[in-house]
């Protein structure tokens, strides 16, 4: 009896001293395992006389039950302590913002976004997109567009010229996307409805000008195309792009070698509080140039100006992006500053749509 009491105290002390589930399992095996101290006692019951078994059986079985109960209780205590420690170590601050998924961390550059917006708007009007090379011939960049010899745009201070080739011809970095108009008219029969977004190059560098910038031009050639169609297209574009219900536009006479008549277009705006808002106010802001395609340009493209006529317009993509999204300086557009891009950029899956809204 004394031995059983001492064994019980020893085993219960070991159970209580177990610091983790691994140590508790060691105690269990040493007591209740196949060769454990309590298991060995249970094996002796078969060799006892009925009187001894009647006396010692309940004591040994009781010892086993106490040890099993103590182990179970200790295991539960250790499990709760481990869970509490894990919760403390892995606690989540639910007040923090949810981190962005890897596929949404990048940003679309505002220029790329605005080109997508332009494409969505004009595609809805039946326009396709035309493209051409950045390096052009003097003929396509100037002569075919009715630029006379000696025009200032042909000078070194305004245009980037490349070294003369073996024929003595100097190619240029295109000063506008208008050469693609020539390429389109000489390769495609009317009716023509295209927009031409792309990079252009000029000798300019300040807060609102850079040596490389982006331009989009539109061209319509048909037998019935007229300036009323041009005004409607530009008005619908401005309403869709600036996302306003109504705009007023002002056409001022101007001069471009490749259009006749030509006009500069101003859009109604408000400048109150240093913020530009379109579709309201009494101020005006110039946004683009346009006009009817010059008969000489049509002739240079093999089209009869007595049969076909058309209109064209052009605007700076960088400029309208600055106006729409409130960017004060053009130069950061091309500085590859990730902080600037994170601020002004767009999420990869924010695809412009006239149905859901260009900037929804």
Q: What are phi and psi for residue 197, nearest 5 degrees?
A: -90, 150
**Cβ(279)–Cβ(323) below 8 Å:** no
Q: In angstroms, how far is CA 130 from the centroid of its own chain?
A: 24
- Asked whether 142 and 161 are in contact (CB, 8 A), the reply is no
How far is the C-alpha of 86 from the C-alpha of 262, rounded, in Å?
74
DSSP 8-state class, residue 216: E
> What contacts 262, CB < 8 A, 6 or more positions away?
253, 254, 255, 256, 289, 290, 291
Closest to 256 (Cα-Cα) out of 229, 283, 293: 293
Please indicate if the annotation marks 260 as binding a ligand. Answer: yes
**Burial letters 224-237, b for 16+ CB under 10 A, else e:** ebeeeebbebbbeb
Could you give the angle at which helices 317-325 and 110-124 cross, rounded to 10 degrees?
100
Task: Specify binding-site residues.
Answer: 260
**What residue numbers does the annotated binding site for Mg(2+) cover?**
260
């Amino acid at each position: 009896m004394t031995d059983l009491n001492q064994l019980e105290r020893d085993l219960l002390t070991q159970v209580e001293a177990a610091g983790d589930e691994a140590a508790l399992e060691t105690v269990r095996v040493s007591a209740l395992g196949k060769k454990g101290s309590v298991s060995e006692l249970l094996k002796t019951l078969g060799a006892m006389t009925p009187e001894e078994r009647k006396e010692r059986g309940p004591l040994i079985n009781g010892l086993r039950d106490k040890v099993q109960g103590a182990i179970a209780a200790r295991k539960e205590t250790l499990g709760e302590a481990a869970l509490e420690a894990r919760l403390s170590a892995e606690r989540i601050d639910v007040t923090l913002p949810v981190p962005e998924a890897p596929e949404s961390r990048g940003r679309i550059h505002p220029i790329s976004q605005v080109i997508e917006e332009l494409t969505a708007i004009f595609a809805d009007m039946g326009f396709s997109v035309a493209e051409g090379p950045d390096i052009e011939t003097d003929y396509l960049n100037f002569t075919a567009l009715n630029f006379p010899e000696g025009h200032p745009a042909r000078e070194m201070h305004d245009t980037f010229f490349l070294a003369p080739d073996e024929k003595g011809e100097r190619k240029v970095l295109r000063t506008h996307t208008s050469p693609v108009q020539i390429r389109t008219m000489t390769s495609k029969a009317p009716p023509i409805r295209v927009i031409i977004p792309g990079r252009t190059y000029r000798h300019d560098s300040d807060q609102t000008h850079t040596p490389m910038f982006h331009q989009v031009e539109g061209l319509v050639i048909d037998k019935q195309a007229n300036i009323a169609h041009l005004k409607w297209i530009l008005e619908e574009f401005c309403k869709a792009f600036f996302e306003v219900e109504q705009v007023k536009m002002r056409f001022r006479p101007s001069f471009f070698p490749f259009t006749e008549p030509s006009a500069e277009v101003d859009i109604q705006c408000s400048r109150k509080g240093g913020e530009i808002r379109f579709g309201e106010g009494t101020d005006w802001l110039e946004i683009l140039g346009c006009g009817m395609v010059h008969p000489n340009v049509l002739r240079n493209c093999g089209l009869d100006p007595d049969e076909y006529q058309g209109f064209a317009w052009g605007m700076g993509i960088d400029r309208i992006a600055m106006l729409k999204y409130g960017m004060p300086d053009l130069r950061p557009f091309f500085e590859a500053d990730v902080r600037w891009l994170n601020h002004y950029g767009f999420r990869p899956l924010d695809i412009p749509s006239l149905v859901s809204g260009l900037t929804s």
